[in-house]
């Protein structure tokens, strides 16, 4: 979920979370997570841990890329094209959101 939240970080950082709903079906290992933001955004995450497919969906949109994201990330790090301050702020923010989900 960490990486999925990082995809919508720009929405999350500027819009307070109003409600979160987490429902799960233990036997099926199915998690349904909804996040409602103040500015009328609603994000819906569905995780099926029994599925053989490694597809990720946010609001019924398949989040998958043919790009080699790891290669791009390594190139950016090696060529000093990263903003460490922004990355740290983003990571801390996402961890705070995930900790709220645990409660």
pLDDT of amino acid 64: 74
pLDDT tens sequence across 5-17: 998 898 888 888 8
pLDDT tens sequence across 85-96: 999 999 999 999
73 vs 27, higher pLDDT:
73
CA distance 14 to 57: 22
pLDDT of amino acid 59: 84
Question: Residue 48: CB partners within 8 Å, gap ≥ 6?
Answer: 28, 29, 30, 31
pLDDT tens sequence across 26-57: 777 888 889 999 888 899 988 888 888 877 77
CA angle 15, 101, 17 (to 5 degrees): 15
Count of CB atoms situated within 10 Å of the CB of 92: 10
Residue with tokens 């979370």: 17
Burial of 6 (0-12, 13-18, 19+ CB in 10 A): middle
Rg for the chain, CA atoms, rounded: 15
Q: Report the chain's mean pLDDT, rounded to a whole number.
A: 86
pLDDT of amino acid 79: 94
Domain segments of the chain: what residues?
2-102
């Amino acid at each position: 979920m960490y990486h999925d939240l990082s995809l919508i970080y720009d929405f999350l950082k500027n819009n307070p979370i109003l409600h979160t709903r987490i429902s799960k079906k233990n036997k099926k290992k199915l998690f349904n997570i909804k996040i409602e933001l103040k500015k009328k955004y609603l994000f819906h995450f569905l995780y099926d841990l029994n599925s053989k497919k490694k597809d990720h969906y946010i609001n019924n949109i398949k989040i998958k890329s043919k790009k080699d994201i790891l290669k791009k990330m390594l190139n950016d790090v090696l060529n000093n094209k990263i903003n460490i301050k922004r990355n740290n702020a983003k990571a801390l923010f996402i961890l705070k959101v995930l900790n709220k989900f645990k409660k």
